[in-house]
Structure 1
Amino acid sequence: MAAILGGGLGGLSTGYYLLKNCVNAHMKLALFEASDFYGGWIRSIRTNDYIFEQGPRTIRPKGPYGLNTLNMIQELGLSEHVSAVLPSHPAATTRMVCVGHTLHTLPSRFSQIFTKTKPFSKPLILAALHDLTQPGLELKDDSIYNFVSRRFGQELADYAVSPMICGICAGDAKEISVKFLMKTLFEYEQTHGGVLKGVVKNMFKPQPENEQALSELALKSQEERWSVYTLQGGLETLPETLKEHLVNNNVEVHSNSKIEEIEFVDSSSVLLRNKKGEILDLKHVYSAIPAHALAKLVERQHPHLSEQLEQIPFVNVGIVNLFFDSQETLIAPAFGFLVPPKENSPILGVVFDSCCNPEQKGTVLTVMLGGRWFKERFGDNITKDQLLAIAMKEVRSILKITMEPTVSHVNILEKCIPQYVIGHYDRVEYIRKYIKQHNLPLSLVGCSYDGVGINDVIYSAKAQVERDCTV
């Protein structure tokens, strides 16, 4: 029997791909979730009037990873539940940053790079030209902030890239590795001495084709050029359907089953001890739990591995969902706005859910708070009522909404997003080499290692399972 630890998206996707590629009548599969909830940080609060998303709310369809997720969604029978945002929609064209409590729309069309638009003090085309005048700098890794500042100027780093990092991983661009989002551009600098030089030299090289067969849904997303999409009834529909798929295919799914320790016997035998003291004898373990949680399970037998896993930092994020039951929309159509860290704001940004999702009635907003700066801004004992008051103060000041929310919901997501700081990818490579060198029957999947987005987590499971099944 093989076991999966964790019933979040990573664990459920691992089960899905094991069923698809490896599991047969002679191999049993079990999934262990420590809580009574499946889906990890994907959680949707549903009513007839609104959907409050506690975690991710949209999925990007582009690239091999995005197309892979669409393939999965069609195979699960969820195509009819997809609600796409087309490129002409305000949620695709209007993304803003808040500087000095004033909202500024970021350029979204090529023609806009030739004119000066606030908060930038000069046309963005000059940022591109800045790259041509800067010498290359040989580095193994760098922060995404330093890289963008060096190649394109500090304003682009401050007002575009830094808030974007806040929105993606609630992190500090001055700490996050450039390889997190701009690996190819960084490699252009290292290889060719500059980003634009690298772009030009690679422009006429044949691009690798996407080798995976595309579903009708994936092809439709390309033809219609979707910006993002969501699922009717909220994104929790995806993990719910995945869990149902596993159960229907005879996977043993155990809730409230926390594993207390992993003991490796040899390369094809591993023992799991649960909180009841029971010992489970298995052939292989797929860990889809956070790196810091896995670190505790292997600490006694492999303290060095545990130490390396613990070095992957995570941050807390406050989530405040607001529903205003108003016939008249209270916001301009847009995806929402993010706040650059240099503004020292208590909030990371606000998503305009009622613009992104046609199911929403009235005005629905999600305010994100804290992240990398959670403790320094809120301390250790912040209450949900205090977070709500802080969120509402910012919403009133920035969006000029004076009415009280009809319904609100506040949650503090503790250690919810890993931070891919400088050196992260070398650390993950080292961890996997350690596992291989010690012949441990253990595979790592999930957001701790190969990407924090929905598409990344699903593809991480697919890639790991396919590697294991071909060995």
Structure 2
Amino acid sequence: MAAILGGGLGGLSTGYYLLKNNIINNNNLKLFLLEATNFCGGWIKSIKTKDYIFEQGPRTIRPKGIVGLNTLNMIQDLGLSEHIVPIRPDHPAAKNRMIYAKNNLHLLPSSLKSMFRKITPFSKPLIFALLNDIKQPNKHLQDDSIYNFVERRFGKEIADYAVSPMICGICAGDAKEISVKFLMKTLFEWEQTHGGVVKGMIRSLFKPNSDEDLELSDLARKSQEEKWNVYTIRGGLDIFPLTLHNYLKENDVNIKLNTKIEEIEFVDSGTVVLKDIAGERTEVNHVYSSIPAYSLANLVSNQHPELAQDLRDIPFVTVGIVNLHFATDKSLITPAFGFLVPPIENSPILGVVFDSCCIPDQNGTVLTVMLGGRWFKEKFGDDVKVTTLYDIAVKEISSILNITEKPSAYNVNILHRCIPQYVIGHYERVDKIRQYIKDKNLPISLVGSSYDGVGINDVIYSAKTQVLKDCT
């Protein structure tokens, strides 16, 4: 028997790939998926009414790269192609992305032509950032923060007003702490190998493409041909994990909800005992853990305290989510994806997504305000009330977007320790964790956002990678 811990997208995807690669059937294994709560889907959760959808977590998916195309392959295989709603390059949500700085909203550059124009809040055209990179000497480092790297290569303004808010939007984190390898691994390697980003980029043009060979579905090819920027799923993004959940059930995966594991006991290289809080013991041959690293740490700490400590050293942040619906016939916003707020502005909010622009079938104006992240405790303390977050969100919306109407509906949610932070040294730490598991010959595989990327595509690809390793 094999067991998957966690019914979020990582755990569901692990079950999908175990089935698709016939690991279960070929080995006559029975597969369990154990979820501590009463539903599967993790942080992907959609609140739906006839007038609006409130997304509690992600709302769009990027189709770019091997990991993005891999997700589209899965989506087609699950029969969801007809539910996909792409945002193409000419859509306002693709073209118009903003930051709020110096008391104004600023449209970020979105074309090559804009690189040669001065666009506030930047004091000079962005082409000068590339010239700065060419002039900078090389600096040999094992790792660095993405903020330091960008400041060194492209200047402080780019670090403050482009990269820092982008990190807030992706992982609610502080660019001064996040590893450059999280988002700019290739650029960092160019600096370390060739002495600069521009030099590395030029040399890369003459090297053959070494991307993994991936057979593309019709949906994946269509995304390339039409150059999708992002896409979503009509009816709410939680249709995706729900469909995965149903696929697993239809293929005889035993999904146990409200099953909280209290301890993992490794008996030998092929035997693991899972003890739940009800006192039941389940013996399996292998465990796939998709739960957060800090949760897994608690389960293995008795037998493997060193492993537990390394798992606990992966930090997580808490994010406040305030969804707002305004029942007005006329839109209250300029069409755009939304805006982010640079940390240098010292704002209580990270940014705002214009959901009524990027999610279909919304009536009125729908906004999602994100708060806190790396600064949640600093801004709001340990016992903040949801009413406080709501008041702050409405106040900021009124100030920045000049929306004076009262929301007709709203929802506030605090997502505790929801996003891992890939701080400097993260990848070396994950390598150490997996090396420990290998050296001790522990029958466990690690998947999910704690280790191999925080985005939807990364989580799915992490599951695929770990399952395929078990095939060889």
TM-score, length of structure 2 as denominator length: 0.99
- State which of 412, 415, 425 in structure 1 corresponds to 2:414: 412
SS at match of 2:98: strand
Alpha-carbon displacement from aligned partner over 1:140-174 (angstroms, at most 9, x marks no partner):
00000000000000000000000000000000000
Counterpart amino acid of residue 156 in structure 1: I
Counterpart amino acid of residue 12 in structure 1: L
Residue in 2 that maps onto 1:270 = 272
- Give me the whole-angstrom Cα distance separating, in 1, the residues matched to 2:411 and 2:151: 38
CA RMSD of aligned residues (A): 0.6
Counterpart amino acid of residue 36 in structure 1: N
Alpha-carbon displacement from aligned partner over 1:219-249 (angstroms, at most 9, x marks no partner):
1101110000000111100000000000000
Residue in 2 that maps onto 1:6 = 6
CA contact (8 A) 2:318 2:374 kept: yes
Alpha-carbon displacement from aligned partner over 1:80-136 (angstroms, at most 9, x marks no partner):
100000100000000000012310000000011111000000000000100000000
Counterpart amino acid of residue 422 in structure 1: I
- Give me the whole-angstrom Cα distance separating, in 2, the residues matched to 1:344 and 1:359: 34
Deviation at 1:190, TM superposition (A): 0.3
Say if 2:227 is the partner of 1:217: no
Residue in 2 that maps onto 1:261 = 263
Residue in 2 that maps onto 1:179 = 181
- Give me the whole-angstrom Cα distance separating, in 1, the residues matched to 2:381 and 2:211: 49
Structure 1 stretches lacking a partner, 5+ long: none
Residue in 1 that maps onto 2:39 = 37
Q: Which has the higher mean CA deviation after the structures are superposed, 361-370 or 198-207?
A: 198-207
Deviation at 1:210, TM superposition (A): 4.3
Structure 1 ranges of 4+ moved more than 3 A:
none
CA contact (8 A) 2:234 2:360 kept: no
Alpha-carbon displacement from aligned partner over 1:50-94 (angstroms, at most 9, x marks no partner):
000000000000100000000000000000100000100000000
Aligned-pair identity in percent equals 67
Deviation at 1:209, TM superposition (A): 4.5
Residue in 2 that maps onto 1:24 = 25
SS at match of 1:358: coil
Residue in 2 that maps onto 1:458 = 460
- Give me the whole-angstrom Cα distance separating, in 2, the residues matched to 1:31 and 1:286: 9
- Give me the whole-angstrom Cα distance separating, in 1, the residues matched to 2:88 and 2:439: 48
- Give me the whole-angstrom Cα distance separating, in 2, the residues matched to 1:101 and 1:334: 18
Structure 2 stretches lacking a partner, 5+ long: none
Alpha-carbon displacement from aligned partner over 1:251-294 (angstroms, at most 9, x marks no partner):
00000000000000111011110111111111000000000000
Deviation at 1:37, TM superposition (A): 1.4
CA contact (8 A) 1:101 1:397 kept: no
Say if 2:430 is the partner of 1:432: no
Q: How does 1:95-110 map to 2 (within 5 A)?
A: 95-110=97-112
- Give me the whole-angstrom Cα distance separating, in 2, the residues matched to 1:163 and 1:403: 27
Residue in 2 that maps onto 1:304 = 306
CA contact (8 A) 1:164 1:338 kept: yes
CA contact (8 A) 1:134 1:151 kept: yes
CA contact (8 A) 1:134 1:150 kept: yes
Deviation at 1:357, TM superposition (A): 1.4
Alpha-carbon displacement from aligned partner over 1:171-210 (angstroms, at most 9, x marks no partner):
0000000000000000000001101000111111111244
Residue in 1 that maps onto 2:251 = 249
CA contact (8 A) 1:283 1:441 kept: yes
SS at match of 1:23: helix
- Give me the whole-angstrom Cα distance separating, in 1, the residues matched to 2:292 and 2:381: 23
Deviation at 1:345, TM superposition (A): 0.1
- Give me the whole-angstrom Cα distance separating, in 2, the residues matched to 1:276 and 1:409: 33
SS at match of 1:24: helix
- Give me the whole-angstrom Cα distance separating, in 1, the residues matched to 2:352 and 2:442: 44
Deviation at 1:360, TM superposition (A): 1.0
Q: How does 1:393-408 map to 2 (within 5 A)?
A: 393-408=395-410
- State which of 343, 349, 352 in structure 2 corresponds to 1:350: 352
- Give me the whole-angstrom Cα distance separating, in 2, the residues matched to 1:239 and 1:200: 41
- Give me the whole-angstrom Cα distance separating, in 2, the residues matched to 1:384 and 1:197: 50
- Give me the whole-angstrom Cα distance separating, in 2, the residues matched to 1:222 and 1:234: 23
- Give me the whole-angstrom Cα distance separating, in 1, the residues matched to 2:103 and 2:422: 29
CA contact (8 A) 2:348 2:371 kept: yes
Say if 2:89 is the partner of 1:87: yes
- Give me the whole-angstrom Cα distance separating, in 2, the residues matched to 1:168 and 1:127: 23
Query: How many correspondences in the alignment?
Result: 470
Deviation at 1:358, TM superposition (A): 2.1
Deviation at 1:211, TM superposition (A): 0.9
Counterpart amino acid of residue 191 in structure 1: T
- Give me the whole-angstrom Cα distance separating, in 1, the residues matched to 2:141 and 2:261: 41
Change (3 A) 1:436 1:210: closer
Residue in 2 that maps onto 1:130 = 132
